[in-house]
Structure 1
């Protein structure tokens, strides 16, 4: 199942999250190498991203997102995706 995920991160002023940021990057790279975090794009000018995840279920996605080190500081919007009949790969 494919999901479009927007993550907006808001760190409280004065909070040192250096270790969390490093752990977040390591986890993101691990999930990308595993083929779960399929795409990851920065939203220009924001501490935000658009991502595409390929997982087996809603529960799996929830588990992945809620385990991210920066999760306590995220606002997340999720949209399930389906193949569009006009996509080249669908032809």
Structure 2
């Protein structure tokens, strides 16, 4: 199933900078692993914000929920999820 997730990160200003950098490094490593596995199909930065729009290809809602909660920055994220379906007028079929 395909899902679009809009994620905004809000790291507290008083979080230890070393902790924040470690979280960001772990987030990057996990996101790249999930991209190589084909579960995190697309990742776009939202210009001017600490935010992204991502497309996930996972088995179901539960897998997406578990994946999102596993993200190191999850405690500092606001996430909006939309289920996607193939449009009948689309030329490309995924």
* TM-score using structure 2 length: 0.93
Give the counterpart of 2:67 among 59, 64, 76. Answer: 64
Please give the residue correspondences for 1:9-88 in structure 2 after superposition, counting only pairs within 5 Å: 9-15=9-15, 16=17, 17-88=20-91
Shift of 1:14: 2.5
Unmatched tracts of structure 1, length 5 or more: none
Residues of 2 paired with 1:89 and 1:68: CA distance? 30
What SS class does the counterpart of residue 87 from structure 1 fall into? coil
Shift of 1:89: 2.4
* Alignment length (residue pairs): 90
Cα shift readout 1:34-64 (whole Å, capped 9, x = no counterpart): 0000000000000000000000010000000
With 9-18 and 26-35 compared, the bigger mean Cα shift is at: 9-18
| Moved >2 Å (runs of 4+) | none
* TM-score using structure 1 length: 0.96
What SS class does the counterpart of residue 65 from structure 2 fall into? helix
Give the aligned CA root-mean-square deviation in angstroms. 0.7
Shift of 1:72: 0.2
